[in-house]
Amino acid sequence: MAQQLTYKLVDSTSFALYENEDWDKLIAFGNAAINQDFDFYYLNLRMGIAYFNTGDFYKSEKFFNKSIQQNKTSQIANEYLYIINSYLNRLLSADINYNRLADSVKIRLNKQRLYPKSYAYAEGGVKISSNKNIETNEPLARLFLELKIIRRFNLRLSTSYIGQQNAPWGSYEQPEIGLMPSFSLSKNINLDLGWRYINVRKDFKVSITQNFIDTSNIETEIGPAIIITDSTESFNNSSDFKTQINTLYAGITLFKNRFGFSVKGLIYIQNIGIKSHQIYETTVDKTWILTENDSIIFDDTFGGSVSPIVNSNTTTYYYQAMFGATYTLPVLKNGLIIGLDVFIPLNEELSNTIWIPKLQMRIFKTLWFYGEWLQKKRVPLLYQDGNTFLNQSYQLNHRLTLGLNFNLNKTVQLYLTYLNEDKHYFDNNIDNSFNAVIFGINLKF
């Protein structure tokens, strides 16, 4: 049978446990007292402090709110709620608690800078190709900066680079930049806007030998050209593909207790330019004409109609809706967070819905595990704090991301990420995979 408690015993015991900073015993004793219908200001205040010091901000918040209902001028409860709301990025709620504090407390909090909101993140690594006959290794690097400009307004900047050199088919480079402001509209709602620009340059090169019959200069509608028919000669084919993508998005993020919801609308404006220096064909019944201005024309049957193949430039618009949700489970001291992002196509150029399940889990007090999985087809995809995941050279991609996040102190975090990526190509059902270990550091200031 449970011990019958009295107000005096509950008050004195909870105070002694608070003084000794025995948080786990205080939580157990306090819950036992609550089960016997004890509910007063100092008990709720001490329970809030105990849960705060064990890292359970949601339960801590619950008890501080109860204590404020019982004592609206409580400086201690408002100070803790200010810290919790700042940590959870509820800036308007934090403002309410901050404005209730005495000037001396405000000065102390400003000097302490308990939870800085500006930070810089950098990571780098190499994606190792499992089949060097298809693709070579890909170095990658990313920088991300978030600045608190004023209260309720954060500005995010990102840049990244990935490339591949001396592959059998050629090479490519993919730099990217991004600008992403965020506004707090209310206690639990943020407005997110963004612009990203990506520039992909691919250079394809192939050496071949052809049989020619004759060569002669002729005049065509687009200028002087050479007819090539039956002899033997080797030459190179080189084509530059340039893909430029501007991504615009706007969305709302809502926080409610343990839940987080987000919805975004995205527009990808993709421009692809192709410059062909020479085109080859393996069939002998083709007639080739190379003009002086790098434009190519040919006809299938000599003497037939001539159709130009010129340097091309095309623009395509992609539209997506993104829905995301996260939930912090009441286990592991709020150390288990599950999430799901869904990208839904809104026009016929995009054919598949993309599902991205996510997981974060606290292993120790300062060590977290995170994981993410996705499968996509040949479409742009906005992900990972503002980098566009794009590769037009393969049909299907699976990517698994696993990582560890170690909190070295309040201002420094270290990241170790493993990435596995499988590619399925259009031609001959060729497959390739990449494995990478990526190192990162996050600095708060």
Summarised one tens digit per residue, pLDDT across range 84-136 is 887 776 767 787 888 888 888 888 887 765 555 688 999 999 989 888 877 88
Q: Identify the weakest region by mean pLDDT among 109-113, 155-159, 316-320, 368-372.
A: 109-113
Q: How far apart are CA 154 and CA 177, in angstroms?
A: 17
Q: For the chain, what are the domain ranges?
A: 7-112, 123-222+231-276+312-444
What's residue 115's pLDDT? 54
Task: Determine the pLDDT at residue 95.
Answer: 78
DSSP 251: E
Contacts for 55 with CB less than 8 Å, ≥ 6 apart: 333, 334, 335, 365
Q: What is the mean pLDDT of residues 405-409?
A: 87
**Angle (nearest 5°) at CA 337 between 335 and 343:** 165
For the cut 80, the answer to whether the pLDDT of residue 280 exceeds it is: no
Rounded mean pLDDT, 174-201: 87
The rounded percent of the chain whose pLDDT value lies above 90 is 27
Per-residue three-class SS string for 38-54 = CCCHHHHHHHHHHHHHC
| 254 or 272, higher pLDDT | 254
User: Residue 384 — very low, low, confident or very high, per pLDDT cuts 50/70/90?
Assistant: very low
**pLDDT higher than 60, residue 226:** no
Q: CA-CA distance, 322 to 262, in Å (whole number)? A: 8
Q: Which residue has the tokens 């434009």?
A: 295
| 7-112, CATH topology level | 1.25.40
- Contact (CB, 8 A) for 319 and 345: yes
How many angstroms separate the Cα of 341 from the Cα of each of 105, 264, 277, 322? 40, 11, 42, 7
Instruction: With beta carbons less than 8 A apart as the criterion, state whether 317 and 346 touch.
Output: no
Range name among 62-76, 250-264, 345-359, 360-374 with the lowest pLDDT average: 345-359
Q: Other CB atoms closer than 10 Å to residue 385's CB: what's the count?
A: 14
Give tens-digit pLDDT for 293-324.
444 444 443 333 333 344 567 788 888 899 99
Whether 7-112 and 123-222+231-276+312-444 share one fold: the answer is: no
- Reported in sequence order, the residue ranges of 257-295 that DSSP labels E, i.e. its strands, are 259-276, 287-290
SS3 sequence of 315-356: EEEEEEEEEEEEEEECCCCCCEEEEEEEEEECCCCCCCCEEE
Q: Which homologous superfamily is 123-222+231-276+312-444 in? A: monomeric porin ompg (2.40.160.40)
Cα separation of 245 and 174, whole Å? 11
